[in-house]
Amino acid sequence: MLEVELAIGADHAGFELKEQLVPWLRSLGHEVVDLGAHEMDPDDDYPDFAAAVAEAVQSGRFERGIVVCGSGVGASITANKVPGVRACLCHDTYTAHQGVEHDQMNVVCLGGRVIGIELSKEILAAFLSASFIPEPRFQRRLDKLIAVEKGLRGESSG
């Protein structure tokens, strides 16, 4: 697995899982910056942490991001609102590596109330060891995705 610079964040529902993942990721040699929550607060909100991670990835400061909320759904929806971020909810290893290889996914979202630590580690290992495959078909699809994001769908060819 390549060493990767990571931003990670979680709300109260993902806090416990995040707290277990950060030291594990660091033990593998990854640079991990924890964007919060830094304490358990049952009144915090997932959009705050998902947006912080997504914006950190968008800025180029981090190669990839990880967001953990209760189901992972809200984190995924929020992160995908940030231009240039391709976030996906992953609860299996195939989706975690295929999302990077085919779609250049750069943020993975996990459900802290859905999966446990061991599966999370397997998913993150798959996510972090994957690279985009620059085959013409994957690049063509990524270009179309970016055109949709920029509001240029009608102007793209194909």
Q: Which residues are catalytic?
A: 69, 102
Neighbours of 64 (CB within 10 A): 22
- Token digits for 59? 């800025």
CA distance 154 to 58: 25
CA distance 132 to 9: 24
Considering only CA atoms, give the Rg of the chain.
15
CA distance 76 to 78: 5
| Contacts for 131 with CB less than 8 Å, ≥ 6 apart | 100, 101
